[in-house]
A and B are shown apart, each in its own frame.
Chain A
Amino acid sequence: MTQVPKKKPTAKMLLFGGLSVILYTTLFLKSETVMQFFTRGGIYAALPIATVFLFSYIHGSFAGNFWSVVGIEAQKTRLQEKMEQQKSRARRTERPRPRLRAHT
């Protein structure tokens, strides 16, 4: 069986890369205001925590797609194969068995 070459996620990389640049530029252009609110403490602790979640999603997606575009991708591991086998076994057992119902 021949392997079909996977399409590189260039568009995704550019999208998330663009969003990442916008986020970082905004942060540094407005850094004084950001620091003023983010270091107030108390309930304002939610601001840095929410921000790192947002940045890790946007910038993390950009970084992940970047490695794919430059051709550095994971090999299929033995553990992945084992996991897929377990899933297909589970699917097989989940399927309802045909039953013969006799009305007496």
Chain B
Amino acid sequence: MHEVANFIDLNLIMIIYLFLVGFVGGLVSGFIGSGGAFVLTPGMMSLGVPGAVAVASNMCHKFPKALVGAIKRYKYGQVDIKLGLIMAVSATVGVQIGIQIQHAILARWGQSGSNLYVSLAFVLILVTVGGYVFRDARKCARSGGVEVVSALAKKLQKIHLPPMIYFKTADVKISLWLTIPVGLATGMLAATIAVGGFIGVPGMIYVIGTSSLIASASELVIAFVMGLGGSINWGFHGLIDIRLTLIILAGSLFGVQLGAIGTTYVKDHMIKVVMGTIMLMVAVSRALAIPKYLNELDVIQMDPAVISLMTQTSFVIMVTALLVGTVIILVGIWKGRKAEKKDRLLHAPPIPETASH
């Protein structure tokens, strides 16, 4: 039934490392809806965990984390469950399409070809979408943090193609058919680079027309559904290392709730700032990995020492991307709390003077 996998022996340093990476990943996911888990798979593999076990254990921590984050953000009125579930259905189909494409590439060009495809997809999508998100975040910041519905979303909402669906929390009415491409793309990206939210969240903002708060919160519903399905599949093959999953989960459940709380302290466009920054930095990281695969495919010839240096730099930039996101979120929370305290002091009722004479 299941493949024989090597499960590693854990020591205290590994446990602390996984807990911290889990916390940081959870914090980013709770804030932008996804994007925290992409460092975990390479992070676990750097400890000697086999690739398939790393992917399986990562996915198995992802869905309960998304569930806890979604419940927390639902309490803040930010989750559109209907939108999340409808998107999750088409995203599940998208995952299957993405897997088929991966298999076809693997069969035609081998492991290096597959790695090259994944890295190219990373760079192309993250530069295009991340660049757009980042530019829009700067525009919002200049206009005092006011978010406007994109022109594309406004046009699409006017197309009357039954069945039309009204998403109550998002306050958006749009044809079901127009949500499907966004869901499919989310799933395909999830199957390719393991972070579907890099398409899902911008897709919900710019194509469907929701606010970034609703999009990032509803993405957690999609992540839960897809993660649960994927984990059942990995569990069926006996590849989940429950010890790794639960250590990461221990950190990420602290992080995801802090990230969710953080969304209530910052202006909406901060979600776009964090998302755009992480996406662009990850794009640079993956671009540095491309020469390695081109070298393996004999397209270019490079010195192995240079390739090794580029690979290490790529990993460091990926970790830095997550840390930069973490710093932006924590500073945002800190500033928000400071402003709240100041506001409370200003509006506090005056202390009644006692009669001294």
Chain A residues in the interface with B (C-beta under 8 A): 2, 24, 27-28, 31, 34-35, 38-42, 44-49, 51-53, 55-56, 59-60, 63-64, 66-67, 72-77, 79-80, 82-83
A66 proximity list for chain B (CB < 8 A): 254
A5 to chain B, nearest CB (A): 11
Which secondary structure dominates chain B's binding surface? helix
A49 proximity list for chain B (CB < 8 A): 60, 228, 231-232, 235
Query: CA separation between A55 and B245, bound complex, in Å?
Result: 11
B241 proximity list for chain A (CB < 8 A): 35, 39
B341 to chain A, nearest CB (A): 11
Query: CA separation between A45 and B241, bound complex, in Å?
Result: 11
Query: CA separation between A28 and B306, bound complex, in Å?
Result: 41
A60 to chain B, nearest CB (A): 4
Apart from A38-B238, A67-B258, 16 more pairs, CB < 8 Å:
A34-B242, A40-B238, A44-B238, A46-B235, A49-B228, A52-B60, A52-B64, A56-B65, A60-B64, A64-B72, A73-B261, A74-B264, A77-B76, A77-B263, A79-B214, A80-B76
In this assembly, does B137 line the interface, its C-beta being within 8 Å of a C-beta of chain A?
no
A84 to chain B, nearest CB (A): 8
Number of interface residues of B (CB under 8 A): 50
Query: CA separation between A61 and B2, bound complex, in Å?
Result: 34
Contact (A77, B264) CB under 8 Å given A2-B349, A35-B242, A41-B2: yes
Which secondary structure dominates chain A's binding surface? helix
In this assembly, does B260 line the interface, its C-beta being within 8 Å of a C-beta of chain A?
yes
Asked if B236 contacts A55 (CB within 8 A), the reply is no
Which of B5, B257, B265, B340 touches A64 (beta carbons < 8 Å)?
B257
Can you list 14 pairs linking A and B with CB atoms under 8 Å apart?
Answer: A39-B2, A39-B238, A39-B239, A41-B238, A45-B240, A49-B228, A49-B231, A49-B232, A52-B60, A52-B231, A55-B64, A60-B64, A74-B75, A79-B213
Residue of B nearest to A35 (CB): B7
B214 proximity list for chain A (CB < 8 A): 79
A60 proximity list for chain B (CB < 8 A): 64, 68, 253, 257
In this assembly, does B246 line the interface, its C-beta being within 8 Å of a C-beta of chain A?
yes
In this assembly, does B292 line the interface, its C-beta being within 8 Å of a C-beta of chain A?
no
User: Within residues 302 to 356 of chain B, which ones have a CB less than 8 A from any CB in chain A?
Assistant: 333, 336-337, 340, 349
Contact (A48, B235) CB under 8 Å given A27-B243, A35-B242: yes
A26 to chain B, nearest CB (A): 11
In this assembly, does B77 line the interface, its C-beta being within 8 Å of a C-beta of chain A?
yes
A24, A48, A73, A82: which has the most chain B beta carbons within 10 Å?
A48
Asked if B236 contacts A41 (CB within 8 A), the reply is yes
Query: CA separation between A10 and B339, bound complex, in Å?
Result: 26
Query: CA separation between A27 and B242, bound complex, in Å?
Result: 9
Query: CA separation between A51 and B243, bound complex, in Å?
Result: 11
User: Within residues 210 to 229 of chain B, which ones have a CB less than 8 A from any CB in chain A?
Assistant: 213-214, 228
Asked if B5 contacts A63 (CB within 8 A), the reply is no
In this assembly, does B91 line the interface, its C-beta being within 8 Å of a C-beta of chain A?
no
Residue of A nearest to B258 (CB): A67
Asked if B336 contacts A52 (CB within 8 A), the reply is no
Asked if B64 contacts A31 (CB within 8 A), the reply is no
B7 proximity list for chain A (CB < 8 A): 35, 39
The 6 A-B pairs with the shortest beta carbon distances in the complex, nearest first, are A45-B235, A41-B2, A41-B238, A56-B64, A79-B77, A83-B77
Q: Residue-by-residue, is B62-79 near A (CB-CB < 8 Å gives 1, otherwise 0)?
A: 011101100010011110
Query: CA separation between A4 and B38, bound complex, in Å?
Result: 43
B231 to chain A, nearest CB (A): 6
Asked if B249 contacts A52 (CB within 8 A), the reply is yes
User: Within residues 46 to 100 of chain B, which ones have a CB less than 8 A from any CB in chain A?
Assistant: 60-61, 63-65, 67-68, 72, 75-78
Query: CA separation between A13 and B354, bound complex, in Å?
Result: 40
A28 proximity list for chain B (CB < 8 A): 243
